[in-house]
């Protein structure tokens, strides 16, 4: 090549480079897209409408059982054109459904990154995006999308320099405007299959549901305590509280007294002068026949009240019942004599802060309300694939890397974005509790007689820990190789190709290497020290174990009974079981310590049990996945007590699973996902938020109907997730003796904010508390082999309905206002509405809330008779009137449909 031709080549190369690269100060194509593109996401065709050709495409792509749906991301360019030469950018987006291909274009390459993170890379055939042009991207994805919350916010674009830019129109925790109505392209897209028997919520259906039984007559709700005591005797008319409530706490410990006084302040019942209603507290276990921790007696007279506790917890519980008798609206106190004791020792609430971080403030608020309704176990899920949330002294990478999400492909500074967190580190995917934060939480809980049960989920769901400890290894390996390997969680020679339920290929810690157990031992010691500093010795260690053995080989998946790729027991692309190619694990199997790779989850459980017992911690817990192959807990585990959270949906045999665990020597905490998972939607309405693999809805009434000792009876009063009947068989009578309690769960994949935490938990928490504390008359004792289904008629449904009516009236007339005063943003129910004789008729599940209608110009209070003609929408307000719930647009001459 001559010097002249070389010069010409370099000049042309520079010119082409100038066309594709922005000059200094010029906005890149990625920047222009982030600034100027508006985005919408929508379902095109859900599973029930998939034709044969699409099913074939789905199966070829690897879809489980050829179950697929299609969806669209539309990007409208509201700025200058992006030219064909400007293709040095990559679009990243989140999809909780494994997305297989881009169906309608060949100018992008689709790649799965990690978890729910996918990306599109423009190819050489990219023709640009003109000003005003819409780029429609149609995808084929596994499974179905039935609720708008399946879509995630914060799409982002990465430029040629590796800098990430959030698309501004998507940069919000809200998906309003970002996600189009599920039924936009097909009125049946809300269905999972064509045979889906659920009913889509509408104004009309809600009205029918809320009026299914006659309303409560009278005002028995005034003396109704939630949760309901063993006995309540009304002894007179309610008394006015005047200047508040003054407590002579007697032997009640000062932290608990301080907590109660905070509650008085919260409810505006603190004494403000002479004439306050006086309350005397005593503790004397010798005056109780039984030895039931938490028992109490309460006697409310005309001028004073007396509380006698069996113990400190009992005295505190009595004070909560005193406040439950208060109607804060009228500042009156119902007069009653109460004898009471708890039903279960474990009355729990679970909060996941791993998937999305939630603040200390909301944790403390939850503890306040748990105490008010006598829940006493706070199960704190502090780690998952998407985040590590507790500072551990000596292991800074756990929070510096594992506690933060940002765009760093090397993942040495942070985890990659997930679940709509976006590429910036200031998001709900980032955050952790310091040692001092955790000590404060444990101390705060202890004052309210609540045990904090920390959980670090392993050996599965552990990606945040794995990545963090790999970052630690890389930092130290050159200078301190032995120290670098001390807490490493993977076998570096493990070449297993697997895919977890959440689509990670690197999320399992290795149970066959010593460094794993050094890591767990370190965790136990450090968390134990925090509890000791809080004055609340660590009594329970929850090692997780969730979905630890649920990855199956692809050729066995579709035939495995009960499997569901959505809660996965595994996506079909899982070709190898975790650890199957790990030399360390192969050596362990060869040694005979375990017979097969399948038993490594239980090996992990046994070794952790040894560590927990050696630390002097009496109780170890797990999700049932992690111990399902243990045959005798007493023989195989070193810990004194062992319990399991049994979560499988009841219509998939969850009741049988609980019975199996009890037979294996575990105590059982009933945690069934189709009744007690508060991340499920409240109703069958795509506008509601939540996952729905276990149930299309869990409203407060459904949780209230739960029967923990005999879950088989629920087959008479509920349907499966497709709205169809199911059947179940009752366990043996002695199963009841192994039930340690019940627990409600909030997983946080679709819960990005503290406000969403409160919306999803309340008011369902009140029904949870009712079932955890009180056994209702309509709950049946288990009789071995007794069958239940929609065809049987054994449950006293009239008694259940009557019990619910009084509970609902109490919630609506008394308790929701208390939640308002506590600053709790509970879900305001969506009203039902119909036109009867030209008059607007409305109904709510909880009476007493203000109702409004929209006349086309203004929202007006519903007060007296309202003509239906001209009513455009209806809604309810919170008990204090300050917040409005979701409105329903009406066309009362037509069947009403639910709208945002």
Catalytic residue among 42, 397, 455, 547: 547
Q: How far is CA 677 from CA 104, 670, 743, in A?
A: 38, 11, 9
The H-or-E segment that residue 658 falls in is: helix 654-663
**By three-state DSSP, how is residue 734 classified?**
helix
Q: How far is CA 770 from CA 39, 342, 452, 521, 810, in A?
A: 44, 10, 21, 37, 12
**CB contact at 8 A, 380 and 454:** yes
Task: Choose among 175, 177, 141: nearest CA to 43.
Answer: 141
Buried residues in 831-857 as b, exposed as e (16+ CB within 10 A): bbbbbeeeebbbbbbbbbbbbbbbeee
Task: Choose among 401, 413, 343, 417: nearest CA to 374.
Answer: 343
Chain position carrying tokens 């005193």: 322
Chain position carrying tokens 């998946």: 557
Q: Which long-range contacts (CB under 8 A, 24 or more apart) does 640-644 make?
A: 640/613, 641/667, 642/609, 642/666, 642/667, 643/346, 643/619, 643/667, 643/668, 643/669, 643/740, 644/668, 644/669
Task: Choose among 856, 736, 715, 705: nearest CA to 790.
Answer: 715
Q: Distance between CA 109 and CA 159 in Å, rounded?
A: 16
Q: Dihedral angle at the C-alpha atoms of 740, 746, 747, 751, nearest 10 degrees?
A: -170
- The per-type count for the chain, helices as H runs and strands as E runs, is 23, 34
Q: State both tokens at 443.
A: 């101390």
Q: Distance between CA 396 and CA 601 in Å, rounded?
A: 27
CA dihedral (334, 340, 343, 346) positive or negative: positive
Active site residue 547: yes
**CB contact at 8 A, 42 and 180:** yes
Task: Choose among 155, 157, 172: nearest CA to 32.
Answer: 157
Q: Distance between CA 385 and CA 503 in Å, rounded?
A: 10
End-to-end CA distance of the chain: 68
The full DSSP string for 290-357 is S--TT-EEEEE-SSEEEEEESSHHHHHHHHHHHHHTEETTTTEEEEEEEEE--S-SEEEEEEE-SSS-
Task: Choose among 894, 893, 859: nearest CA to 873.
Answer: 859
Helices in 69-192 by DSSP H: which ranges? Answer: none
What is the 3 state secondary structure string of 755-778? HHHHHHHCCHHHHHHHHHHCCCCC
Q: Which positions are annotated as active-site residues?
A: 547
């Amino acid at each position: 090549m001559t010097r002249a031709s070389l010069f010409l080549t370099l000049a042309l190369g520079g010119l082409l480079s100038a066309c594709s690269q922005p000059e200094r100060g010029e906005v890149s194509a990625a920047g222009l897209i982030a600034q100027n593109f508006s985005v919408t996401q929508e379902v095109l065709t859900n599973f029930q409408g998939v034709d044969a050709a699409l099913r074939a495409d789905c199966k070829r792509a690897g879809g489980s059982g050829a179950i697929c749906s299609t969806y669209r991301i539309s990007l409208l360019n509201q700025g200058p054109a992006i030219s064909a030469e400007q293709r040095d950018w990559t679009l990243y987006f989140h999809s909780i459904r494994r997305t297989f291909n881009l169906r309608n274009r060949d100018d992008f390459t689709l790649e799965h990154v990690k978890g729910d993170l996918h990306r599109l890379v423009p190819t050489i055939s990219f023709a640009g995006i003109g000003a005003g042009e819409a780029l429609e991207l149609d995808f084929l994805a596994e499974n179905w999308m039935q609720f708008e919350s399946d879509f995630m916010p914060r799409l982002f674009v990465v430029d040629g320099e590796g800098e990430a830019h959030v698309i501004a129109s998507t940069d919000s925790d809200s998906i309003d405007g970002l996600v189009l109505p599920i039924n936009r392209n097909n009125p049946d897209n809300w269905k999972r299959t064509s045979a889906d028997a659920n009913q889509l919520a509408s104004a009309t259906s809600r009205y029918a549901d809320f009026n299914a039984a006659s309303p409560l007559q009278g005002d028995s709700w005034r003396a109704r305590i939630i949760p309901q005591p063993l006995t309540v005797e009304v002894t007179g008319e309610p008394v006015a509280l005047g200047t508040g409530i003054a407590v002579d706490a007697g032997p009640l410990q000062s932290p608990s007294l301080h907590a109660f006084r905070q509650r008085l302040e919260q409810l505006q019942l603190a004494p403000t002068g002479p004439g306050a209603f006086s309350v005397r507290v005593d503790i004397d276990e010798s005056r109780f026949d039984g030895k039931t921790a938490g028992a109490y007696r309460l006697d409310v007279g005309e001028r004073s009240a007396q509380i006698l506790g069996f113990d400190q917890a009992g005295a505190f519980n009595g004070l909560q019942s005193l406040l439950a008798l208060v109607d804060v609206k009228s500042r009156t106190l119902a007069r009653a004599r109460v004898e009471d004791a708890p039903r279960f020792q474990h009355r729990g609430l679970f909060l996941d802060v791993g998937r999305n971080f939630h603040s200390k403030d909301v944790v403390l608020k939850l503890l306040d309300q748990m105490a008010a309704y006598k829940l006493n176990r706070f199960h704190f899920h502090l780690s998952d694939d998407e985040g590590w949330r507790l500072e551990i002294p000596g292991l800074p990478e756990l929070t510096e890397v594992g506690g933060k999400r940002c765009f760093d492909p090397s993942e040495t500074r942070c985890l990659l974005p997930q679940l709509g967190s976006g590429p910036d580190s200031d998001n709900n995917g980032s955050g952790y509790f310091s040692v001092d934060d955790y000590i404060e939480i444990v101390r705060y809980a202890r004052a309210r007689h609540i045990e904090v049960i920390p959980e670090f989920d392993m050996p599965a769901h552990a990606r945040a820990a794995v990545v963090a400890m790999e970052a630690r290894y890389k930092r130290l390996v050159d200078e301190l190789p032995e120290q670098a390997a001390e807490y490493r969680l993977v076998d570096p020679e493990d070449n297993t190709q697997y895919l977890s339920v959440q689509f990670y290929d690197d999320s399992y810690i290795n149970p066959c290497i010593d460094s794993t157990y050094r890591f767990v031992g370190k965790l136990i010691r450090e968390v134990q020290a925090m509890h000791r500093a809080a004055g609340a010795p660590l009594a329970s260690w929850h090692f997780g174990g969730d979905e630890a053995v649920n990855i199956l080989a692809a050729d066995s998946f579709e035939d495995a009974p009960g499997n569901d790729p959505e809660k996965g027991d595994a996506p079909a692309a899982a070709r190898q079981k975790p650890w199957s190619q790990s030399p360390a694990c192969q050596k362990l199997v060869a040694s005979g310590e375990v017979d097969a790779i399948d038993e490594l989850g239980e090996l992990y459980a046994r070794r952790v049990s040894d560590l927990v017992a050696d630390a002097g911690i009496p109780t170890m817990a797990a999700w049932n996945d992690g111990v399902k192959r243990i045959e005798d807990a007493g023989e195989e585990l070193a810990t004194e007590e062992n319990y399991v959270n049994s979560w499988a949906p009841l219509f998939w045999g969850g009741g049988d699973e609980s019975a199996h665990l009890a037979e294996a020597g575990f105590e059982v905490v009933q945690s069934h996902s189709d009744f007690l998972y508060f991340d499920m939607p409240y109703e069958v309405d795509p506008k509601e938020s939540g996952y729905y693999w276990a149930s299309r809805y869990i409203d407060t009434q459904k949780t209230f109907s739960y029967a923990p000792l005999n879950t088989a009876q629920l087959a008479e009063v509920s349907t499966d997730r497709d709205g169809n009947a199911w059947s179940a068989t009752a366990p043996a009578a002695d199963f009841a003796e192994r039930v340690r309690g019940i627990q409600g769960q909030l997983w946080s994949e679709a819960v990005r904010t503290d406000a969403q935490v409160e919306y999803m938990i309340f008011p369902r928490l009140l029904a949870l508390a009712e079932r955890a504390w009180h056994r209702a008359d309509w709950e049946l004792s288990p009789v071995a082999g007794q069958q239940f289904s929609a065809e049987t008629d054994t449950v006293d449904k009239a008694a259940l309905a009557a019990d619910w009516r009084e509970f609902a009236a109490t919630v609506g007339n008394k308790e929701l206002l208390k939640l308002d005063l506590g600053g709790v943003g509970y879900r305001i129910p969506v009203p039902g509405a119909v036109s009867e004789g030209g008059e607007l008729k409305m109904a709510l599940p909880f009476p007493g809330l203000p109702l409004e209608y929209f006349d086309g110009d203004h929202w007006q209070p519903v007060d007296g008779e309202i003509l239906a003609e001209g009513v455009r929408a209806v809604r309810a307000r919170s008990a204090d009137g300050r917040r409005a719930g979701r409105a329903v647009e009406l066309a009362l001459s037509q069947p009403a449909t639910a709208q945002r």
